[in-house]
Amino acid sequence: MHSYIERELSTRVLQDLAYFPVTAVLGPRQCGKSTLIKKLFASMKNAVYLDLESPEDLTKLENPEYFFRLNTDKLICLDEIQRRPDLFPVLRSIIDRDRKPGQILISGSASPALLKQSSESLAGRISYEYLTPFTINEVEKNSSLENLWLKGGFPDSLLGDNIFSWKWRVNFLITFIERDLPQLGYNISSQNLNRFLSMVSHTAGQILNRSKLSESLGLSHNTISSYIDIFTQTFLIRTLLPVSANIKKRLIKSPKIYIRDTGLLHKLLGIQTFNDLLGHPSAGSSWESFCIENILATVDFDNAGFYRTSNGTELDLVLEIGKRKIAVEFKMSTAPKITKGFWNGLEDLSVTESWIICPTQEEYNISDRIIVTSLSLFIKHMT
């Protein structure tokens, strides 16, 4: 057993329980939702935990209204709620009898849109929190940046040795495609889904080209779009939207696409060691993916996207935080060079702060407008 690593989301979940009748903790399978919830419950006296993947616990809910009535003064957790989306209307009727906060904690491995009924049934009664695999903030004392980047942030993958970590990621993807997606109602060819993920892994960090994916896989545009939606709403893929600008330049309007966890990305690319990663053509896009996921998981922002014009002007990440407009570039080199496209992007968007994040331990100015820094130090500046 691994020692428990404190999750930054714990504080926010406790705050939500103090204000909302229902709090939802959503995130990918095996990212640590159940562990977080059980840790919170360990310090609570009036709490009941049900694992909806356990036949015994499911039996307790054969008459859900009766179960909730018997446990009316307790905080009830329903773990893996996507197994019983039919419970949402029941939860609504129970909550509406008494709108007190902290009645129900649910967890799930799918977005509210995929759970379908939650957003309709519990509107105004529920708060959503999103748990990602481990971030660099959470594991700085337990793991190196290189280990987290290579193996990804899923707890079992990160904390296991190299052989176990690789086998865990192989099995995770098999189970996810062959068991978890069918349980959500998607009966899609596992061969097609595997081929799709493989193609996405080779274009990760690039502009999404549905036509190219469609042609390569022999699938329709609509099918490609539905696959992207499925993997986005189950937290395996991220599409990063372009930011708009009031300028007379032709902007790229398609999103960028990423495999969110770099451990899974490296499994799909066949990258098993850190030396393999450093020598791989996708090392730069992997670093970009890794940094973006950590930033978006830990920094409170109003808007996030990328900027690119048809003539090559580009900013990897643009964050808006209040009146601040922050441009970020990701470079593998510890002595990064500034491209003309980056300078042009700063002018186009009237950026207030500009940063370059690379695998360094230092921080220094490359000009009076641009700071080179590490991922950890950047996040500390933003939080």
| Cα dihedral sign, 238-215-225-179 | negative
Which CATH topology does 136-382 take?
Arc Repressor Mutant, subunit A (1.10.10)
Which pLDDT value is given to residue 2? Answer: 60
Query: Tens of pLDDT along 271-303?
Result: 999 999 999 999 999 999 999 999 999 999 999
Q: Which DSSP string do the residues of 152-197 spell out, in sequence order? A: -S-HHHHHS-HHHHHHHHHHHHHHIIIIIHHHTT----HHHHHHHH
In 3D space, the residue among 15, 23, 75 whose CA is nearest the CA of residue 49 turns out to be 75
**Helix or strand holding residue 25 (H, E):** strand 22-26
Mean pLDDT by 10 residues, the chain (383 residues): 81 95 95 94 90 93 92 92 88 88 93 76 90 95 92 96 97 96 91 96 94 94 95 96 74 90 98 95 96 96 92 91 94 87 89 94 89 95 90
The Cα–Cα gap between 23 and 107 comes to: 8
Query: Tens of pLDDT along 31-44?
Result: 999 999 999 998 88
Contact 166, 272 (CB under 8 A): yes
Q: What 3-state class would DSSP assign to 204? A: coil
* CATH of span 9-130: 3.40.50.300
Alpha carbon 259 to its chain's center: 9
| CB-facing half-sphere around the CA of 97: CA atoms within 13 A | 11
Q: What pTM did the predictor assign?
A: 0.94
Which pLDDT value is given to residue 309? Answer: 87
Going edge to edge, which strands form the sheet with 314-321? 303-308, 314-321, 324-330, 353-357, 370-373, 364-365
Contact 183, 80 (CB under 8 A): no
Which pLDDT value is given to residue 182? Answer: 92
Other beta carbons less than 10 A from residue 149's beta carbon: 25
Report long-range pairs for 297-301 (Cβ below 8 Å, ≥24 apart).
297/132, 297/135, 298/8, 298/135, 298/137, 298/379, 298/382, 298/383, 299/379, 299/382, 299/383, 300/383
- Give me the residue spans of the domains in the chain: 9-130, 136-382
